[in-house]
């Protein structure tokens, strides 16, 4: 059985028509294939590491801020709700959501940008591609194959973005980026759930950190409307309960709009299969025009007031320095890394050239948690101060 509840829509992904796994395996006895994918991700080492990886605030800044792990769980909850309502494959959408950030570096987007700069002459660094690399190659859990050997649609859904140059090296998995095809409905919902979760919860974390102000947030139509509705129902409500009530209602509004708009698009296009969803000229899942505008306003507000806040910018500068100096140190002397990475980098450099050796260094750094990266930097640069 490959669906958590109900009957699948004709345009949903079904395991019996999937291209399957790269290495064939016997079918599971009591689980569906996509449920097995979900379970493998949860039991992976990379998934556990997400608990100590930055969402916006560095891990050691506080215990109550979101991490990549809590973010991934929140994304999966939203996406699975959407998938259930639209009769899509809930286990597939959950597997995509739980694995979409497995390749993220320490220190969030700052770490990713720094590592991409370091790898600029050696293929660059994309965290979506790194997540795929984690599930395809880097996890060491099974005797019969490297990685987690996930289903085709799960692996495809991990690739929210991919450059054309990298897509050309991915075979069938990269075809949609080259030919302009759409991802599955399940992958589309995972992408939307990701946006809903990080925007709404970054507002919550920004308020908790004192970097955002409720009065400033009332510049946003979506926030102001929900705040007004909450206070009309609960006069005098304040503090954390007021904030949580506003944020949860914003999430509810966004989710409801995705359901309504996606149903409208599906009714108009009437796709009869996954292939017809892929061939559509636009996504079948999305926001209505008015809500898309409010959601974009929220993203722009967060960019101006949170992500470019002085406190976050200082953290970003420290993260950039930490990742860059670690990369320089390890590429100049791979023996500074643990033995298994040092040996892998040496073999890769000998067999395939410097770019392959540098990719192993990138794998090592990308797999670090925030606190491990800080410790490694202090070990190698004890005089340069805490990063």
Confidence of residue 387 (pLDDT cuts 50, 70, 90): very low
Asked whether residue 109 is domain-assigned, the answer is yes
Boundary residue ending a domain (291, 311, 331): 311
CA-nearest of 342, 257, 213, 338 to 78 is 257
Asked whether residue 387 is domain-assigned, the answer is no
Q: At what angle do helices 33-42 and 90-99 cross, to 10 degrees?
A: 30
Q: How many domains does the chain have?
A: 2
Confidence of residue 57 (pLDDT cuts 50, 70, 90): low
Q: Report whether pLDDT(58) > 80.
A: no
Is 0.85 topped by the overall pTM? Answer: yes
35 and 84 housed in the same domain: yes
What residues make up the domain containing 283? 15-311
77 and 213 housed in the same domain: yes
pLDDT digits (tens, 9 = 90+) for 316-336: 899 999 999 999 999 999 999
Q: Report whether pLDDT(4) > 90.
A: no
Q: Report whether pLDDT(136) > 80.
A: yes
Asked whether residue 205 is domain-assigned, the answer is yes
225 and 93 housed in the same domain: yes
* Mean pLDDT of the 254-270 span: 98
Contact between 312 and 212 under an 8 Å Cβ cutoff? The reply is no
pLDDT digits (tens, 9 = 90+) for 352-385: 999 999 999 999 999 999 999 999 999 999 864 4
> Structure tokens of 332?
């100049």
Identify the pLDDT of residue 5.
52
* Mean pLDDT of the 223-247 span: 96
Confidence of residue 386 (pLDDT cuts 50, 70, 90): very low
Boundary residue ending a domain (311, 334, 359): 311
Asked whether residue 7 is domain-assigned, the answer is no
- As a whole-number percent, the residues of the chain with pLDDT over 70 amount to 94
Tell me what the pLDDT averaged over the chain comes to: 92
Asked whether residue 19 is domain-assigned, the answer is yes
* Mean pLDDT of the 234-246 span: 95
Q: Residue 227 sits in a domain of what CATH number?
A: 1.10.3210.10
Give the separation between CA 374 and CA 300, rounded to whole angstroms: 30
pLDDT digits (tens, 9 = 90+) for 190-199: 999 999 999 9
Asked whether residue 33 is domain-assigned, the answer is yes
Identify the pLDDT of residue 383.
67
């Amino acid at each position: 059985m490959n669906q958590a509840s109900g009957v699948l829509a004709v345009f949903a992904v079904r395991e019996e028509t999937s291209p399957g796994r790269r290495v064939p395996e016997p079918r599971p006895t009591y689980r569906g294939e996509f449920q097995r994918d979900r379970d493998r991700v949860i039991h992976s080492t990379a998934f556990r590491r997400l608990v100590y990886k930055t969402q916006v605030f560095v891990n050691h800044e506080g215990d109550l801020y979101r991490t990549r792990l809590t973010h991934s769980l929140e994304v999966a909850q939203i996406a699975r709700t959407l998938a259930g309502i639209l009769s899509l494959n809930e286990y597939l959408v959950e597997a995509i959501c739980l694995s979409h950030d497995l390749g993220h570096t320490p220190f969030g987007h700052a770490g990713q940008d720094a590592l991409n700069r370091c790898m600029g002459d050696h293929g660059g660094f994309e965290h979506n591609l790194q997540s795929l690399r984690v599930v395809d190659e880097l996890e060491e859990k099974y005797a019969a194959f490297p990685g987690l050997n996930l289903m085709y649609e799960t692996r495809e859904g991990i690739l929210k973005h991919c450059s054309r140059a990298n897509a050309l090296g991915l075979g069938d998995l990269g075809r949609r980026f080259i030919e302009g095809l759409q991802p599955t409905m399940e992958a589309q919902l995972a992408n939307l759930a990701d946006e809903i979760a990080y925007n709404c919860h970054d507002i919550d974390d920004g308020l908790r950190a004192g970097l955002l102000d409720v009065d400033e947030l009332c510049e946003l139509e979506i926030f102001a409307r929900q705040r007004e509705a909450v206070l009309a129902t609960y006069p005098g409500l304040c503090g954390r309960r007021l904030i949580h009530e506003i944020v949860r209602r914003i999430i509810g509004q966004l989710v409801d709009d995705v359901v309504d708009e996606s149903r409208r698009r599906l009714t108009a296009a009437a796709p009869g299969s996954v292939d017809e969803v892929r061939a559509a000229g636009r996504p079948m899942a999305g926001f209505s025009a008015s809500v898309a505008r409010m959601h974009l306003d929220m993203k722009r507000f967060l960019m101006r007031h949170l992500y470019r806040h002085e406190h976050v910018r200082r953290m970003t500068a420290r993260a950039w320095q930490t990742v860059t100096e670690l990369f320089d140190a390890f590429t100049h002397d791979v023996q500074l890394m643990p033995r298994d990475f040092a040996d892998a980098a040496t073999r890769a450099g000998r067999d395939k050239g410097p770019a392959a050796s540098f990719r192993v260094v990138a794998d090592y750094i990308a797999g670090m948690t925030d606190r491990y990266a800080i410790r490694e930097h202090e070990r190698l640069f004890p005089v340069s101060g805490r990063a």
